[in-house]
Amino acid sequence: MNSKGQNTSAVFGFVNTLIDLLQSETPSHVAVVFDAPGPTFRVQEYAEYKAHRDEMPEGIRWAIPVIIDIIKAFNIPVLSKTGFEADDLIGTLAKQAEKEGFTTYMMTPDKDFGQLVSDHIFMLKPARMGKPAEVWGPDEIKEKFEIDDPLQVIDILGLWGDAADNIPGIPGIGEKTAKKLIKQYGSVENLIAHADELRGKQKENVIEFAEQGLLSKKLATIVLDAPVTFDAQLFEHEKPNKDKLVELFKELEFRGILKRLFNMETVVSGEQLGLFGSVENTEVYSELKTIEDTKPKYVLADSEEKILNLIKELEGVKQFCFDTETTGLDPLVNEVIGIAFSVKANTGWYVPVPKKNGKEVLSRFKHLLEDSKKEKIAQNLKFDRSMLMQYDIDVQQPWFDTMVSHYLIAPEMNHGMDFLAEKYLKYQPIPIENILGKKGRNQKTMDQIEPRDILNYAAEDADITLQLYQIFKKDIEKNDRLKSLYYQLESPLIAVLGDMEMAGIKLDIKALKILSDELTSDLKSVTAKIFELSGVEFNLDSPKQLGPILFETLKVSENPRKTKTGQYATGEDVLSKLKAKHPIVPEILEYRQLKKLKSTYVDALPKLVNPNDGRIHTTFMQTVAATGRLSSNNPNLQNIPIRTKRGREIRKAFIPEGKEYQILSADYSQIELRIIASLSGDDNMIKAFNAGEDIHRATAAKVFGIAPQEVTRDMRSQAKAVNFGIIYGQSAFGLAQNLNIKRGEAKELIDNYFAQYPGIKTYMEKSIVTARENGYVETIKGRRRYLPDITSANAVVRGFAERNAINAPIQGSAADIIKRAMVDIQSEMKKNKMKSKMLLQVHDELVFDLFEKEEAELRLMVKNKMEKAANLSVPLTVEMEAAGNWLEAH
């Protein structure tokens, strides 16, 4: 999403693919082919052809004309013909080029093109999902489809059909059977002629659906006489139109792509050269300044005299910017090798920090960084603060973090320094590759670089951050909403999160090893059961092998869904609906669950434990989620399983500091429902919460029109599903699937719900109207979620934005509330010099290392601060428990 609110994802993906192609393949001739608007001759043959396809997403529809403009700016021909598909034009051109002695590569992942390959025509399957590009010729096609001639791909598709194009094929014949039959009979026509040799249902289907099979073959055939002519001169690869590409990419804000283009070499018209001619004399951005343009005054403070001059300068100002240079990104493992400062635009200092006396050098700046009267400025201050804590320097407020402030100003945008510099300062910073070399095995680390070679890069970081501060500070200060969010919530939270990261949480590695062994045993048992039920051994992790067994051999579904690649869909969403159809399905789901638990958590977590303290340290991401919620990574400790028995066992391995400690878990009770009650002002829901009722039982009583004591467990469960489903804009269809009831029953439940809680329905409708009028919605603390798609003409896209309009204020308010509680709790704990520590935040839950002698004090404090973090129309309540591990505490 660029700053104009345009979703440029499709354009970005296409352009990167095109550039990769030009650079890696260096084609002598190239063209791009599009489907033309309107029906093709295949629709005249079969009205249902591609009829099931969803309407083109609005983002793609917007992107296509832009992509075409870019292709033309590359001086690459763009082709399309009314009534024909791109496949037909490519097939025709490839065969014509072959006759003229050319070798042609059709860049596509579409299996249909296998019918076109020959000794001079190949499929070039683009790289994707980490897999490298592949070239498929006749041998690869013959092997993949188990055929003697690539043309037989058409026959296989005629029998098998093609889910992506809605080609029906012959019922009961999947990929495996189609290959077998074509290998035996050679063609659809010959199979039909020998249908009497078949048996049972297969024989009946081939006879009954013979015409459909022949039609399917015709639909799958790529025509080779489309009205297009291969023109070697027209298709010759030429130099692009530099000015036009620069104009287009500036408009799209594709600065990284522009950098690639101007540093890229390829073969154009047979000559090896920079894509835009001479690389040396080409300026990437006419409007972007670089260090060569600004000629800043950067000083390498590598002597006592210079360090004293720097300290004197820092002592004489009210605010300064600082930035550390380190050997890596883990404050507990890596070291500081330098620190940069800036007090005025286009000036900066860089102080090398030698390994042998680093603490001594950095201690010279301790009084400045800990001065509570000076404002310290940084980009991602949490990281720099954590690095300096290893050197006995505790950076003190006041401070200003440009990354966090920009997150509040423009939450949906990129918050990286390079992007911010280009957007707000029209300045292109020195790329890190210029210092360390290109990424890969041979890339150096900062400690391997001479200080004089780091000077400009490091000092520039501090200088640019200072200039960004001057812009963002004004934006924050002039807006009361942003001012309150930043200074009262997000800025103090930086220290809280940093302290939690440094504290980490202790992990019982032995317990996880025992659990790993148990899971290995369980997996063997489940695998054996699956093989027994299927009657054959196969690779359980291969959807390609699993699909035919489920849907062809065991007939688990009469109408199995297929993916765009033609394989059977075997995802969890599909199999969950088929659990009652065959005993093998729940076993497969159990296998997957056990495998994921073992690989993702049980075996992975011990490897991430810091050997120095036996604790696992996550990183809390403060500037990622547009809703305001925190996220966690390396590892993600907000995603430790809780719903299944085996999953819960993992939480047992999270243990307290030692014998005198326990794990304390404090969890908001139904905070999102309390927020929606308060935001909506619904009388019935507010009364239920204020009376301390079980909200799900109270809801069930109202929806089913009975007394609370008459509510059954099933009724309460349904009411709970509606309560939480409403928050996420769940439809009757979604609720029906969730509860496994009929859609009519689900609709009645929702209608009854709104009849009893009319204020919530009004709130939902008002949220959508407000979002349309303003372009955003707000949390109770004024955090905004911008929703540019709320007026989209595409119903699917618009519906997603409408659901966000309802949910974002609720989810975002919950995030604001727990952040407020975290800041207040940490402040009080430090003030009281407590040994207990706050360790984790997991959505609505806070986890502590509780020093047992402080239990009464901490419990009272945590409950008080959490329950008073916001003033709602209903009380906030906290459930709290202490135990010997996280599971028992939760």
* Closest by Cα among 224, 184, 223 to 206: 184
Number of independent structural domains in the chain: 3
Compute how many other C-beta atoms are within 10 angstroms of the C-beta atom of residue 157.
27
Q: Are residues 683 and 802 in the same domain?
A: yes
Per DSSP, the residues of 601-655 read IITTGGGGEETTTTEE--EEESSS-TTS--EEESS-TT----SSHHHHHHHTTEE
Whether the Cβ atoms of residue 349 and residue 373 lie closer than 8 Å to each other: no
Res. 674: pLDDT tops 50: yes
Q: How many CA atoms lie within 13 A of 785 on its CB side?
A: 30
Res. 426: pLDDT tops 50: yes
Judge whether 648 lies within some domain. no
What is the β-pairing status of strands 121-125 and 134-136? antiparallel
Mean pLDDT for 331-358 is 96
Judge whether 234 lies within some domain. no
Res. 298: pLDDT tops 70: yes
Whether the Cβ atoms of residue 298 and residue 455 lie closer than 8 Å to each other: yes
List the structure tokens of 517: 């062994």
SS3 684: helix
* Per-chain mean pLDDT for the chain: 90
Compute how many other C-beta atoms are within 10 angstroms of the C-beta atom of residue 314.
20
- Domain edge (last residue) among 807, 837, 870: 807
Predicted confidence at residue 281, as pLDDT, reads: 38
Q: Are residues 511 and 447 in the same domain?
A: no
* Closest by Cα among 840, 846, 853, 831 to 881: 846
Express each pLDDT in 537-567 by its tens digit. 999 999 889 999 999 899 988 788 877 666 7
Beta bridge partners of 667: 845, 879
Cα–Cα distance, 808 to 672 (Å, whole number) = 11
Judge whether 602 lies within some domain. yes
CA angle 403/405/411 to nearest 5° reads 85
Mean pLDDT for 296-320 is 97
Mean pLDDT for 424-428 is 92
CA torsion sign for 678, 684, 690, 694 is negative
For the stretch 332-362, what's the b/e string if a residue is b when 16 or more beta carbons lie within 10 angstroms of its beta carbon? bebbbbbbbbbbeebbbbbbbbeeeebeebb
Whether the Cβ atoms of residue 502 and residue 331 lie closer than 8 Å to each other: yes
Res. 823: pLDDT tops 90: yes
Judge whether 609 lies within some domain. yes
Beta bridge partners of 121: 104
Q: Are residues 470 and 343 in the same domain?
A: yes
Whether the Cβ atoms of residue 816 and residue 783 lie closer than 8 Å to each other: yes
**pTM metric for this prediction:** 0.76
Judge whether 702 lies within some domain. yes
Q: Are residues 354 and 393 in the same domain?
A: yes
Cα–Cα distance, 230 to 504 (Å, whole number) = 65
* CATH number of domain containing 693: 1.10.150.20
- Domain edge (last residue) among 775, 792, 807: 807
Q: Are residues 356 and 461 in the same domain?
A: yes
Judge whether 192 lies within some domain. no
Express each pLDDT in 586-638 by its tens digit. 999 999 999 999 999 999 999 999 988 999 999 999 999 989 999 999 999 99
* Closest by Cα among 168, 217, 166 to 189: 217
Judge whether 577 lies within some domain. yes
Per DSSP, the residues of 507-576 read E-HHHHHHHHHHHHHHHHHHHHHHHHHHTS---TT-HHHHHHIIIIIS---SS--B-TTSPBP-SHHHHH
Residue 39: asked if its preceding bond is cis (omega within 30°), the reply is no
Whether the Cβ atoms of residue 465 and residue 472 lie closer than 8 Å to each other: no
Q: Are residues 570 and 688 in the same domain?
A: no
Identify the band that residue 272 occupies on the pLDDT scale cut at 50, 70 and 90: low
Identify the band that residue 409 occupies on the pLDDT scale cut at 50, 70 and 90: very high
SS3 341: strand
Predicted confidence at residue 110, as pLDDT, reads: 87
* CATH number of domain containing 380: 3.30.420.10
Express each pLDDT in 193-231 by its tens digit. 999 999 888 999 999 999 999 999 999 999 999 999 999
Q: Are residues 343 and 438 in the same domain?
A: yes
Beta bridge partners of 664: 848, 882
Predicted confidence at residue 260, as pLDDT, reads: 75
Q: Are residues 329 and 455 in the same domain?
A: yes
Whether the Cβ atoms of residue 825 and residue 817 lie closer than 8 Å to each other: no
Query: What residue type is 849 in one-letter code?
Result: D
- Domain edge (last residue) among 785, 807, 829: 807
Cα–Cα distance, 724 to 717 (Å, whole number) = 11
* CATH number of domain containing 570: 1.20.1060.10
Cα–Cα distance, 646 to 833 (Å, whole number) = 38
Q: Are residues 681 and 600 in the same domain?
A: no
CA terminus-to-terminus distance, the chain: 39
Judge whether 417 lies within some domain. yes
Compute how many other C-beta atoms are within 10 angstroms of the C-beta atom of residue 573.
9
Predicted confidence at residue 129, as pLDDT, reads: 62
Whether the Cβ atoms of residue 842 and residue 853 lie closer than 8 Å to each other: no
Burial class of residue 741 in the structure, from the number of CB atoms within 10 Å of its CB (0-12 exposed, 13-18 middle, 19+ buried): middle
Residues spanned by the domain of 790 = 673-807
Express each pLDDT in 724-741 by its tens digit. 887 777 787 878 877 778
Express each pLDDT in 46-56 by its tens digit. 777 876 665 66
Express each pLDDT in 345-402 by its tens digit. 999 999 999 999 999 999 999 999 999 999 999 999 999 999 999 999 999 999 999 9
Q: Are residues 474 and 360 in the same domain?
A: yes
Res. 278: pLDDT tops 50: no
Q: Are residues 387 and 532 in the same domain?
A: no
Predicted confidence at residue 777, as pLDDT, reads: 95
Q: Are residues 429 and 349 in the same domain?
A: yes
List the structure tokens of 9: 């994802």
Identify the band that residue 263 occupies on the pLDDT scale cut at 50, 70 and 90: low
